[in-house]
Every structure is written in C-alpha cells, then in structure tokens.
Structure 1
Amino acid sequence: MTLLNTFDLTHPIVQAPMAGATTPELAATVSNFGGLGSLGGGTTAPDILNDHINTLKSLTDRPFMINLMVLSEHDSTTLDSETPAWLSEYYQQHNIEIALPKRPAHNFREQLQVLYDNPVPVASFTFGIISAEHVQRLQSLGTHVIGTANHPLEAKAWAEIGVDAVCVQGVEAGGHRGGWLPQSTNDPLGLLTLISQTRACTDIPLIAAGGIMTGQAIKTIQTAGAELAQIGTAFLTTDTCAINDSYKQALLDASQDKRSSETRLTRLFSGKQARGLLNDYLRNFAQFENAQQLPPYPQLNAMTKSLRSQAKKSLDVEHQSLWAGQGVALVRKEKTIELLERIVKEL
C-alpha cells in the first residue's frame, strides 16, 4: 500500500502546514486538485481550529491534514525567562510596548481534543512526539497520523509508536525545524542524506520536505526513497496564502535579484531553530544567537511578538520573520492552482 493509496491522493504533493500562512482556502485548493492540503493549527486557539476544520470540510470532500505543535503543559504556560537585554533595548529605542501574553502558547491537549471531537482525515505533529495511545485513538477515529523528524532517530521513534508515515524535514526547509532530539540541531542533515539514513533504520513510509520547488525535485526525492513531497515555500507567494503583502514581496524580490535570497537558520525570533530570509534583525543581533543566551521556545516567540507585529504594521521586512526555505529563489507570483499544474506537468 503506497501513501498515494493510503491518503487517497492523485498527485505526490503535500502542501506544508505553515502556521500563520496557511488558510482553509489554500488547503482546499490543494486537496481538490488531488494533493494533500494542510492547515498549520499549532498557533490557533482550539475554538478557531474547530471552525477552520468545519470550513475545510465545507470546501472539500477530499482528504486534508491538520498539523499541531507538540508542547508540554509547562512549555505552553511558563513565562519565567527574562526578556533579553538587547531585545528590551530595541523596544525602548523604537517606543514599542512589550505586551507579553499570560501564556506563551496554546494548550496542546485542548487542540488535540478538537481532533478527537471533530475528526480529520490526516493529522501531523511537530516539535515533539505524542504517545502510542494518542496515535491509536486518532487512528480509531479514521485519522491517519504523520510524525515530523529532522533525524533518523526521531523517524525511528515515530515508527515505533505506529504512525502511518513520517515527514523527514531536511536542513533546506523553511520555517521551524520539527525535531526535538539534540542530534537534530547539533548536526542538521540535508534532505537526501536524511532520507538515506532514515531508510537504513526504518521502513516507515516517508514524506520529504526541504527545498522542493519543482517536479524534478519530487522525482529526485522519490528516487532517494520518499513517496511524497511536502512543499512549503513555493506556496507562500500564491493567491490563497495568508502572509502579509510586504513579506510576500520580500520573497518575490529574492527571486528577482532585488534582494538577497540568502537564508539562515536562527533562534533569534522564537527560541527554536527556523530558516528564513536574512534581514537586518538577524544581522544586527547575530551575536546573541547562542542558544544558552536565549529564552527557549515558545517564551522568546512571545517576547518578540510585539516586534514582529509592529514590523508588519509598518511594512518593515527587516524585522519580520521571513520564513523561507533554500529554494526561495524559485518562487513566483501565481495562483495556487497554477503552481500545482506547473509542478505536475514536470513530473
């Protein structure tokens, strides 16, 4: 049984669940086309997540995926780190009020309960691993389960608790890295290396993510041992994506040599490694990148929220988190359906 059959797909395309960027309309467009559309629900309140699922169910009768970020109760409720001095100084210099929330992240267990109460075709998880009991309960409701891994040991751990597939995310991928073991951050693996090393330790079906922008790239990862390709950055500049116009234009400028397409892995925005376009924020505060000097995720993420919000309001791309993968130079301004048709023609 292939993943195309398991998920009832026509094309080997999974649209990446980019929290804050995905919309029900984007996911439904991909699913109706025959790929697996998805919604990044990790930063969404449980009641809104439930509404989004209902909207998706009204827009498509095809399989779709909901992605959640695995956080402990302690992680999602604790704000006990000091705001870094360099960040406080930035706020003072720019007269930005630091508005810290009562808790740095939504409650994962409450989000997971939404998937129990309002079952979805596919659920994926990132930033940590759930229990075998969670997997079995979701599967008993008709939900296929996908784990995220940046290292073969993480993929093996997911396989051992009975998930249907693992998404292996190479170092090329944009946005947050989904792994949780120290090995995944200490020595990040490129996608093809990650696929081959994972294949050597488990036969779990694989979805590949990281720098995939073309049909040719999909054929490459399939030859390497993955069945489906998870594509994120390519969708950011399409019509149904939710990112703001200044962010979208920065990505397009990077593809047209109007700004550098150089990306960096950084913890400076959220406390967790994520890849985005290099901008002034990452340049100016690079000296504080050391993990020991930064509050952990999601605490730093909460602390930089005011900075990022102000940057969006003022169309300041130099202080936004411009998440993008290493394939960003290939983005185009196009409709979602045009992107999908173009990739499939290349297969």
Structure 2
Amino acid sequence: MSLLDTLNLSYPIVQAPMAGATTPKLAATVSNFGGLGSLGSGMTAPNVLTGQIDTIKSLTDRPFMINLMVLSKQEYTTIDTELPAWLSQYYRDNTIEFTLPKCPAQNFSEQLQVLYDNPVPVASFTFGIISAEQVQRLQSLGTLVIGTANHPLEAKAWADIGADAVCVQGVEAGGHRGGWLPQSESDPLGLLTLISQTRTCTDIPLIAAGGIMSGQAIKAVQTAGAELAQIGTAFLTTDKCGINDTYKQALLDASQDKRSSETRLTRLFSGKLARGLLNDYLRDFAEFESADTLPPYPQLNAMTKFMRAHASQNMDAEHLSLWAGQGVALVKKESTLELLERLVKAL
C-alpha cells in the first residue's frame, strides 16, 4: 500500500516540520486540506508539546506529524565548551546580556515519552536515529515512524530498524541537515541523486525534501522514485506560519530582488550544518566556520540564542538565522490555502 493510501492523504504533500516556524494551526490547515501537516517540536518543552498535540487533535481529524530531534543525554544536558571569543566580543560590543542555560536543549527522552502517552498518527525524527524497540513501541500505539536521511546509508539504517518511511533531504533543503553519518557531510547529495542512490540499497517508501516549490517539482520527485514531497520554504511566507515579520520580510525581499536570494550551508548559528539566506552575520564571521573550532550542536545553538533574540527584538535580519532552501526566490506572500491550491493545480 502506498503512503498516500496508508495516511489517507488526498495529495502527495507533506508540510515540513521546521522547528520554531510551524504552528498547530499551520499543521491542521494542511492536514484538513488533504496533505500531511506537521509540527517541528524538537525545541518544545514536553508539557507544551502535550498541549500542542491536543490542540492539533481539536483542529483536525486527519493524520498529522510530530517531528523530534534525536539527541543523546550527553548532548542535551552538557555545555562543556567555552563561548567563542568572537561571539563574546559581539555580545560586549552590542551590550547583549546572556546567561547560558544549564542544559542546551530539551530532554529528548521526555519528549519521546509524550508521544507514548499522547499518541499521534505520524512521528518523524531528525539529527539521529532511534532504536528498533522505540520504533516498535510507537508503531504498537498506531504511530507511523519516519526517519530523516541525507545519505543512502542513513535511509538503509532506518529501513533496517523497521521505520515505515524515510524523508530523504537533498542538499537544496533549507534549515538543518537531518543526517548524522560523516558521509552525509563530506559529499552532500542533491535530491534527485539522493533518491536514485537510496533506491539502490532499500525499497522503503521515500518522502523527498529539498528545493521543492511547485506542483511540477512534486511530479519530478515522484517520477524519480519518491511517493510524497515535503515542502518547507514555500510555507514560511504564508499566513499560518509562525516566524517573525523580520524573517518573513527577508524571504519576500529575496524573492523580489530587494536582497540576494543566495543561501549558504553554515554551522555558525547552531554548530550543525543548516542552509539559510546569506546575511551580515555569516559574512562577518565566515573565518570561524570550521567545525574543528566551533562548539558542537546544540551547545552553539544555546550560545547564539541571545544574539538571535536581540536581532528579533530590533528587527535586524542581518543577525537572524534566516533558514531557507535554494528555491527561496519562488516564495510568495499568500495564505496557506492559496499555496496548497497552487501546488495541487499542477498535479
């Protein structure tokens, strides 16, 4: 049975999770339309996540997806690196006060427990892989399990532990890279190459992500071997998206030639590779980009949070993480429903 049938979808569209940008209303709007709406919950406290799941369930009776970031206990509890000198100097120069948190990220085990206690139709995972036992426990509760992969070997690893599908994320994708193996960083693959290479090592159903901005692109990835298309950047400038106005305007400016639509893969915001619009922060501190010298994720993410909060308060797009895929020049100011209707017209 195809994913479309398994999930009872009307259209082969998955709205990307995008932690910090998605909202229960956005997810429910997409699901009610006939796609798969999702909520990026990797940065959400467990008690808040429970409430958000309840909200989505109150807004739709269609399938929806919750996405979590897989982190070890060591990763989510430990800050054992120094604040980089250049970042410390930036905070002094701009009189930005900061106090590093005790833990740099949410407790993944407690977040996962929420999905056991308050089951959801679909759970997806990024930044790592869970155990076969955890996959089976979710499935026993009626939850479909979807992994994220930037490399065929990561997709095979998810298939081997019994996942129901894998989202293959090409290098074109905006936001954080979802893989975890060294191979996915040393030679990042474009989406169509990733789909074809993954098909040679596993027959697990695939969801394609990366640079998909139109109905024609959805058809192209289906032709290449994916069953569904996951779309993120196109939703960022729609009405149900939760990003701030400064970020949204920067994306629209990139689509209207008012600022460059050039994107970069960078570790400078979080310590983990992510694609976003080029801005002054990425230019000014490019020399510190090396993974060897930057604190790892999620430690650097916790350290730059104060800069990003200050930039948001001051409507300063040049020091925000403007996550966006390579298709950003095609974004439009429109309602979420208008985008969905535009996408399905070409299918």
TM range (shorter): over 0.9
1:165 partner amino acid: A
Aligned positions of 1:74-85 closer than 5 A: 74-85=74-85
* Structure-2 residue corresponding to 1:189: 189
* Structure-1 residue corresponding to 2:12: 12
Distance in 2, Cα, partners of 1:185 & 1:316: 30
1:130 partner amino acid: I
Q: CA deviation at 1:254?
A: 0.1
1:68 partner amino acid: L
Aligned positions of 1:132-147 closer than 5 A: 132-147=132-147
* Structure-1 residue corresponding to 2:64: 64
* SS of equivalent residue, structure 1 residue 293: coil
Does 1:129 pair with 2:129?
yes
1:246-297 CA-to-partner distances (Å, cap 9, x unmatched) read: 1000000000000000000000000000000000000000000000010000
1:306 partner amino acid: F
Distance in 2, Cα, partners of 1:331 & 1:145: 30
Distance in 2, Cα, partners of 1:7 & 1:275: 29
* Structure-1 residue corresponding to 2:214: 214
* Structure-1 residue corresponding to 2:169: 169
Distance in 2, Cα, partners of 1:39 & 1:8: 18
Q: CA deviation at 1:26?
A: 0.2
* Structure-1 residue corresponding to 2:276: 276
CA RMSD of aligned residues (A): 0.4
* Structure-2 residue corresponding to 1:313: 313
Does 1:245 pair with 2:206?
no
* Structure-2 residue corresponding to 1:204: 204
* Structure-2 residue corresponding to 1:346: 346
Distance in 2, Cα, partners of 1:94 & 1:210: 36
Does 1:48 pair with 2:37?
no
* SS of equivalent residue, structure 2 residue 208: strand
Distance in 2, Cα, partners of 1:266 & 1:60: 36
2:311 partner amino acid: A
* SS of equivalent residue, structure 1 residue 11: coil
Distance in 2, Cα, partners of 1:295 & 1:7: 40
Q: Percent identity?
A: 81
Distance in 2, Cα, partners of 1:91 & 1:140: 49
Does 1:73 pair with 2:73?
yes
Length-normalised TM-score, structure 2 = 1.00
* SS of equivalent residue, structure 1 residue 241: coil
Distance in 2, Cα, partners of 1:61 & 1:253: 36
Does 1:303 pair with 2:303?
yes
Q: CA deviation at 1:99?
A: 2.2
Distance in 2, Cα, partners of 1:306 & 1:99: 9
Distance in 1, Cα, partners of 2:7 & 2:111: 23
1:8-52 CA-to-partner distances (Å, cap 9, x unmatched) read: 101000000000000000000000000000000000000000000
Aligned positions of 1:284-303 closer than 5 A: 284-303=284-303
Distance in 2, Cα, partners of 1:305 & 1:245: 18
Q: CA deviation at 1:102?
A: 1.1
Q: CA deviation at 1:129?
A: 0.1
Q: CA deviation at 1:100?
A: 1.0
Q: CA deviation at 1:140?
A: 0.2
1:172 partner amino acid: E
1:154-181 CA-to-partner distances (Å, cap 9, x unmatched) read: 0000000001100000000000000000
* SS of equivalent residue, structure 1 residue 238: coil
Structure 1 stretches (4+) deviating beyond 4 angstroms?
A: none
* SS of equivalent residue, structure 2 residue 79: coil
* Structure-2 residue corresponding to 1:224: 224
Does 1:151 pair with 2:151?
yes
Distance in 1, Cα, partners of 2:299 & 2:7: 36
1:297 partner amino acid: Y
Mark the runs of 5 or more structure 1 residues left unpaired by the alignment.
none
2:188 partner amino acid: P
Q: CA deviation at 1:60?
A: 0.1
Does 1:115 pair with 2:144?
no
1:186 partner amino acid: S
Does 1:332 pair with 2:323?
no
2:306 partner amino acid: S
1:325 partner amino acid: G
Mark the runs of 5 or more structure 2 residues left unpaired by the alignment.
none
Length-normalised TM-score, structure 1 = 1.00
Distance in 1, Cα, partners of 2:130 & 2:10: 29
